[in-house]
Chains A and B, each alone.
Chain A
Amino acid sequence: MVFNPGILLIFGISIFGGFTSSQMFKKIHIPQVIGYIAAGVIFGQTVLGIITPQVIDNLQPFNNFALGIIGFLVGSELLFSDMKKYGKQFSTILIGEGVLAFILVGSAVGFILYKVTGVFSLAMAGGVVFGAIASATDPASTINVLWEYRAAGILTTTIIAIVALDDALAMFLYGLGTSISQILTGGEADIAVELLKVAFELGASIILGIATGGLIALIIRKTKSPESLFVIAFGILLICIGLCAWLELDIILAGMFAGISLVNILPERGKEVVKQIRNISTPIYILFFALVGARLSLGSMPAWLWLIVAVYVVLRSFGKWFGAWIGARISGADKKVCNFTGMSLFAQGGVAIGLSIMASSHLSNISIQPGLSLGDVIIFGVTATTLIVQIIGPMLVKVSVKVAGEAGRNVTEEDVLSRNKVEQIVDRDATVVSPVTPIKEVVELFGAGERSFIPVVDNDNVFKGIIRFTDLTAAFLAPETLDWLVAGDFLYKTKTLLTPGQTQKDAINIMTHLHREYIPVVDNEHNRHWVGLADRQSMITSARRELLPA
């Protein structure tokens, strides 16, 4: 029986395998994205061959979906307020790193191709396409590392801005490059028409993205339930991705602009949507990168191609680093932006591979040697370099943000609340009464305090329930009864209790759900020995205090 796994099995194997391998990589402090790709390499053509090129072709709609989601999440990181602040820096760095990588890689690869083929036009065409692809940076894996290490700061902002923008630059250079290649190699493309085509594709993608983000913002403005928020945003985003695939527009760019417009039109609710979409993004990321790995076929590359691979990796890296350094220096950026931005831009992924696939279909009729077209050289070269730079790229992003002191700074209130336990803020001195406390005393305690209930604890320190102020009001209308009643007469046996080991995030979720400000804390549900009161405000205040810069 031929092993022919269905799509769902492929999904399962890739996600589970990707996760497992990423966990192993994580143990040796290598970013998880490399683990995802490594799983793909193992399941793909290079090793096991379970995920065949045909399967990958069949999964194109999934790839489109993943690219759209990645684009959206990347775009949602860009606030105009930041762009305005750092705009000058961003554009000079962007042009510096993109153009220098383009020139260095393009000329060196062109030179090698010329030496191999002896045909100038073909060498020039290959060089231009390689150069254009070299200018792209993979936003997904780069930003994944920034998230993983919770980076925040001026360097992080710069990296996010550059990776979000340089796909557009890469696409533009690519459009220019393929047109020039086709002209040089005798194709029929008219450079003006090709340029117009690229401009149209970029423009239409951007407009569709902005419209998508605007539409999401418009609809969710009045939506209250978080579930509806997610479903609406997700649905509209899918429509955008589907339209892009249908109209052959750029999915990443459209997704990115959807994210940009949403968070800039409606910052608060927009961030809520982004958070929910990010929550579902992990398996999508794993699968996407596993498929990138599976697409690579490391064994079947001609030997001289490795030279192109080596030159590409070295010169692209140098071009990005030095170009970013020059750009940053010209714009007068912070020293750490000058030194570390370029080396955080080495990763290349979906866009580069996507462009190489497009180039291979454009240039497949240009033969270099028997059985090897210029298209093949490009697709082999880019996939191999992708694997290498995907290993060194994310690692260098990690090193950059760590050395620049920006790792671990993007800790949110939610992170702190998830880490902190109820026992850290429990008020062990909260006023309690015994079941035999005369109700007159209880009334006085309510008068002296601000809480809406008082816990009732017996002589054995067992929590019996609470007295709610609202239940006492009837007694005020019959003051003579106050002499005959005790706390036990008003006991409310609440089932809502916390234990010291619960996280503060859980506690706040319960409080939000029940509209409570305080919840009694007992040692455990069974013994119910009194510990104290957990107070919502104390948890939030202590989390915020932790987040204050030292």
Chain B
Amino acid sequence: MDLANIIDRERCCVLKETTKTEAIIELVNSLEGFNGPQLNGGPLDIEELRKELFYREQLMSTGLSLGLAVPHVRFRGVKSPLVIAGIQPDGITDYDTLDGSEVNIVIMIIVGENQHKQHIRLLSLIASRLKDNKLKQALLSAGSGEEIYSLLAGSEEAGL
């Protein structure tokens, strides 16, 4: 699974928002006008995607541990996995994580409606990558989306 092709370079960013809801909305809104090959026909229905993501958060928070959150959803608007990432160096305190920590790294995973395997593999891959403290620190000090993308996508080659 090649993260470099799955992560959308232009939609990795340093987040402005510092609450869970606003941070998720900021990431979803960045997909406005998205026109990548992952789409399943027409443009993304941003409103629907937002609803699905928040419905999922209602079931169980996607905040994991050690500052990582992975809002994820299976969505009929895409046919292949799409990942975007946001960094909040100041921390999001209300994310409700498994270990109670604040969230600095939000990686959003959107997969096709029937892509159960890809869904789980991406979750597992991202979680295991971000267990690496060096990568985490590098991400937290990244100043641009481009840098965040390079760190996440390049970590595979770098053996991180």
Residues of A within 8 A of B (CB): 435-436, 438, 471-475, 477-478, 480-481, 483-486, 488-490, 492-493
> 21 interchain pairs (CB within 8 A)?
A438-B60, A472-B116, A473-B117, A474-B117, A475-B120, A477-B124, A478-B120, A478-B121, A478-B124, A480-B124, A481-B127, A484-B60, A484-B62, A484-B98, A484-B127, A485-B60, A486-B59, A488-B56, A488-B60, A489-B56, A493-B113
Q: How far is the CA of A254 from the CA of B124 in the complex (A)?
A: 72
Q: Of B55, B59, B72, B123, which contacts A478 at CB under 8 A?
A: B123
Contact present for B56 and A474 (CB under 8 Å): no
Q: How far is the CA of A492 from the CA of B60 in the complex (A)?
A: 18
Q: A480-B128, A490-B116 are in contact. List 16 more A-B contacts (CB 8 A).
A: A435-B59, A436-B59, A473-B117, A474-B116, A474-B117, A475-B120, A477-B124, A480-B124, A481-B123, A481-B127, A483-B98, A484-B98, A486-B60, A488-B56, A488-B59, A488-B60
Nearest A residue (CB) for B124: A478
Min CB gap B157→A, angstroms: 22
- Interface membership of chain B positions 106-139, coded 1 if the CB is closer than 8 angstroms to chain A and 0 otherwise: 0000000110110111011001100000000000
Interface-centre pick from A477, A485, A493 (highest chain B CB count, 10 A): A485
Q: Are A484 and B64 also in contact (CB < 8 A) when A478-B121, A478-B123 are?
A: yes
Q: Are A484 and B123 also in contact (CB < 8 A) when A474-B117, A489-B74 are?
A: yes
Nearest A residue (CB) for B56: A488
Q: Of A438, A474, A488, A492, which contacts B119 at CB under 8 A?
A: A474
| Chain A to chain B: the 9 pairs with minimum beta-carbon distance, closest first | A478-B124, A474-B120, A471-B116, A474-B117, A488-B59, A486-B60, A436-B59, A486-B59, A481-B123
Residues of B within 8 A of A (CB): 55-56, 59-60, 62, 64, 70, 72, 74, 98, 113-114, 116-117, 119-121, 123-124, 127-128
Q: Which residues of A contact B56 (CB under 8 A)?
A: 488-489
Q: Which residues of A contact B98 (CB under 8 A)?
A: 483-484
Q: How far is the CA of A435 from the CA of B58 in the complex (A)?
A: 10
Q: How far is the CA of A435 from the CA of B113 in the complex (A)?
A: 16
Q: Which residues of B contact A475 (CB under 8 A)?
A: 120
Q: How far is the CA of A477 from the CA of B117 in the complex (A)?
A: 10
Min CB gap B32→A, angstroms: 26
Q: How far is the CA of A438 from the CA of B56 in the complex (A)?
A: 13
Nearest A residue (CB) for B62: A484
Q: How far is the CA of A223 from the CA of B119 in the complex (A)?
A: 43
Nearest A residue (CB) for B125: A478
Q: Which residues of B contact A473 (CB under 8 A)?
A: 117
Q: How far is the CA of A57 from the CA of B14 in the complex (A)?
A: 93
Q: How far is the CA of A163 from the CA of B7 in the complex (A)?
A: 80
Min CB gap B59→A, angstroms: 4
Nearest B residue (CB) for A488: B59
Min CB gap B98→A, angstroms: 7
Q: How far is the CA of A472 from the CA of B117 in the complex (A)?
A: 8
Q: Of B60, B72, B120, which contacts A436 at CB under 8 A?
A: B60
Min CB gap B74→A, angstroms: 7
Nearest A residue (CB) for B64: A484
Q: Which residues of A contact B59 (CB under 8 A)?
A: 435-436, 486, 488-489
Contact present for B60 and A481 (CB under 8 Å): no
Interface-centre pick from A471, A480, A484 (highest chain B CB count, 10 A): A484
Min CB gap B80→A, angstroms: 16
Nearest A residue (CB) for B128: A480
Q: How far is the CA of A483 from the CA of B70 in the complex (A)?
A: 13
Q: How far is the CA of A481 from the CA of B70 in the complex (A)?
A: 11
Q: How far is the CA of A477 from the CA of B124 in the complex (A)?
A: 9
Q: How far is the CA of A199 from the CA of B123 in the complex (A)?
A: 85
Q: Which residues of A contact B55 (CB under 8 A)?
A: 488
Nearest B residue (CB) for A493: B113
Q: Of B74, B113, B114, B120, which contacts A481 at CB under 8 A?
A: B120
Q: How far is the CA of A435 from the CA of B57 in the complex (A)?
A: 12
Q: Are A489 and B64 also in contact (CB < 8 A) when A436-B59, A480-B127, A481-B127 are?
A: no
Min CB gap A489→B, angstroms: 7
Min CB gap A71→B, angstroms: 54
Q: How far is the CA of A489 from the CA of B52 in the complex (A)?
A: 11
Q: Of A436, A474, A493, which contacts B121 at CB under 8 A?
A: A474
Interface-centre pick from B114, B116, B124 (highest chain A CB count, 10 A): B116
Nearest A residue (CB) for B113: A493
